[in-house]
Chains A and B, each alone.
Chain A
Amino acid sequence: MRRYFSRKLLIYGLTFFVAVTVNWMIPRFMPGDPVASMVARANVNKPEAVEAMRAYYTGLFGLDQPLWQQYANFWGALLRGDFGVSIWLFPTPVSEVITRAVPYTLALIVPSVLLSWVVGNRFGAYAARRRLLDNTVLPVGYVLTAMPYMWLAVLLAWAFGVILGWFPVAGGYSFSMRPNWSVTFLLDLLHHWALPFLSLFLVALGGWAIGMRNMIIYELESDYSNYLAALGAPSRLIRRYAFRNAVLPQITGLALQLGVLVAGALVTEIVFAYPGLGSLILKAIQNKDFFLLQGTFLFIVLGVLIANFIIDIVYVVVDPRTRAGMAGAQA
Chain B
Amino acid sequence: MSLLVSELKVHYRTLRGDVRALDGVTFGLRDGEILGLVGESGCGKSTLGKSLIRMDGRMRRAGGTVVLDGRELPIDDDRAMNAFRFREVSLIPQYAMSALNPTRKLRRMVGELLRSRGAPLDAEELERRMSQVGLPREVLDRYPIELSGGMKQRMVMVISTLLDPSLLIADEVTSALDVSTQKAVARALLGFRERGYVKSMIFVTHDIALTHHIADTIMVMYAGRLAEKAPADVIVKKPRHPYTRLLLDALPEVGVRYADRRLEGIAGSPPSLLDPPPGCRFRARCPIAGDECAEDPPVAELTPGHHVACWKV
How far is B73's CA from A153's CA once the two chains are assembled, in angstroms? Answer: 57
Tell whether, in the assembled complex, residue B102 and residue A223 are in contact, meaning their CB atoms are under 8 Å apart.
no
- With contacts A320-B145, A324-B146 taken as known, whether A231 is within 8 angstroms of B160 at the C-beta atoms is yes
- With contacts A226-B93, A227-B156 taken as known, whether A232 is within 8 angstroms of B101 at the C-beta atoms is no
* Min distance, Cβ A250 to any Cβ of chain B, angstroms: 13
The chain A residues found within 8 Å of chain B, CB to CB, are: 222-224, 226-234, 236-237, 241, 244-245, 248, 319-321, 324-325, 328
Q: Which B residues are in CB contact (< 8 Å) with A325?
A: 145
Within 8 A of A (CB), among B219-234: none
How far is B116's CA from A320's CA once the two chains are assembled, in angstroms? Answer: 23
Q: Which A residues are in CB contact (< 8 Å) with B156?
A: 227
Q: Which B residues are in CB contact (< 8 Å) with A324?
A: 142-143, 145-146
Tell whether, in the assembled complex, residue B116 and residue A237 are in contact, meaning their CB atoms are under 8 Å apart.
yes
Tell whether, in the assembled complex, residue A232 and residue B117 are in contact, meaning their CB atoms are under 8 Å apart.
yes
* Min distance, Cβ A125 to any Cβ of chain B, angstroms: 15
Tell whether, in the assembled complex, residue B143 and residue A224 are in contact, meaning their CB atoms are under 8 Å apart.
no
The residue from B91, B99, B112 contacting A224, defined by CB atoms under 8 A apart: B99
Tell whether, in the assembled complex, residue A320 and residue B143 are in contact, meaning their CB atoms are under 8 Å apart.
yes
* Min distance, Cβ B242 to any Cβ of chain A, angstroms: 35
Which 3 residue pairs of A and B lie closest in terms of their CB atoms, listed nearest first? A232-B85, A227-B99, A223-B98
Q: B123 near A: Cβ within 8 Å?
A: no
How far is B95's CA from A319's CA once the two chains are assembled, in angstroms? Answer: 22
How far is B146's CA from A167's CA once the two chains are assembled, in angstroms? Answer: 55
How far is B274's CA from A104's CA once the two chains are assembled, in angstroms? Answer: 66
Tell whether, in the assembled complex, residue B86 and residue A224 are in contact, meaning their CB atoms are under 8 Å apart.
no
- With contacts A223-B95, A223-B99, A224-B101 taken as known, whether A233 is within 8 angstroms of B113 at the C-beta atoms is yes
Residues 100-136 of chain B, each 1 if its beta carbon lies under 8 Å from chain A, else 0: 1111110000001100110000000000000000000
- With contacts A241-B101, A248-B103, A324-B143 taken as known, whether A228 is within 8 angstroms of B113 at the C-beta atoms is yes
How far is B117's CA from A7's CA once the two chains are assembled, in angstroms? Answer: 44
Q: Which B residues are in CB contact (< 8 Å) with A223?
A: 93, 95, 98-99
* Min distance, Cβ A84 to any Cβ of chain B, angstroms: 48
The chain B residues found within 8 Å of chain A, CB to CB, are: 53-54, 81-87, 90-91, 93, 95, 98-105, 112-113, 116-117, 142-143, 145-146, 156, 159-160
Closest residue to B171 on the A side, CB-wise? A230
Task: Give how many A-B residue pairs fall within 8 Å (CB-CB).
Answer: 79
How far is B83's CA from A266's CA once the two chains are assembled, in angstroms? Answer: 55
The residue from B90, B100, B143, B160 contacting A321, defined by CB atoms under 8 A apart: B143
Q: Which B residues are in CB contact (< 8 Å) with A321?
A: 102-103, 143, 145
Closest residue to A240 on the B side, CB-wise? B112
Q: Which B residues are in CB contact (< 8 Å) with A222?
A: 98
Closest residue to B163 on the A side, CB-wise? A231
* Min distance, Cβ B148 to any Cβ of chain A, angstroms: 12
Closest residue to B84 on the A side, CB-wise? A232
Tell whether, in the assembled complex, residue A319 and residue B113 are in contact, meaning their CB atoms are under 8 Å apart.
no
Tell whether, in the assembled complex, residue A231 and residue B85 are in contact, meaning their CB atoms are under 8 Å apart.
yes
- With contacts A224-B98, A230-B91, A237-B112 taken as known, whether A320 is within 8 angstroms of B103 at the C-beta atoms is yes
Tell whether, in the assembled complex, residue A230 and residue B103 are in contact, meaning their CB atoms are under 8 Å apart.
no
How far is B91's CA from A325's CA once the two chains are assembled, in angstroms? Answer: 30
Tell whether, in the assembled complex, residue A231 and residue B86 are in contact, meaning their CB atoms are under 8 Å apart.
yes
The residue from B85, B112, B143 contacting A230, defined by CB atoms under 8 A apart: B85
24 contacts between A and B (CB under 8 A): A224-B99, A226-B54, A226-B93, A226-B99, A227-B99, A230-B53, A230-B54, A230-B90, A231-B90, A231-B113, A231-B160, A232-B81, A232-B85, A232-B86, A232-B87, A233-B113, A234-B116, A237-B113, A244-B103, A320-B143, A321-B102, A321-B145, A324-B145, A324-B146
* Min distance, Cβ A229 to any Cβ of chain B, angstroms: 6
* Min distance, Cβ B306 to any Cβ of chain A, angstroms: 32
How far is B102's CA from A233's CA once the two chains are assembled, in angstroms? Answer: 17
Q: Which B residues are in CB contact (< 8 Å) with A226?
A: 54, 93, 95, 99
Q: Which A residues are in CB contact (< 8 Å) with B103?
A: 241, 244-245, 248, 319-321
Tell whether, in the assembled complex, residue B104 and residue A227 are in contact, meaning their CB atoms are under 8 Å apart.
no
Tell whether, in the assembled complex, residue A224 and residue B100 are in contact, meaning their CB atoms are under 8 Å apart.
yes
Q: Which A residues are in CB contact (< 8 Å) with B146?
A: 324, 328
How far is B82's CA from A230's CA once the two chains are assembled, in angstroms? Answer: 8
Q: Which B residues are in CB contact (< 8 Å) with A236?
A: 116
Q: Which A residues are in CB contact (< 8 Å) with B81?
A: 232
Q: Which B residues are in CB contact (< 8 Å) with A230?
A: 53-54, 85, 90-91, 93
Q: Which A residues are in CB contact (< 8 Å) with B98?
A: 222-224
* Min distance, Cβ B178 to any Cβ of chain A, angstroms: 21
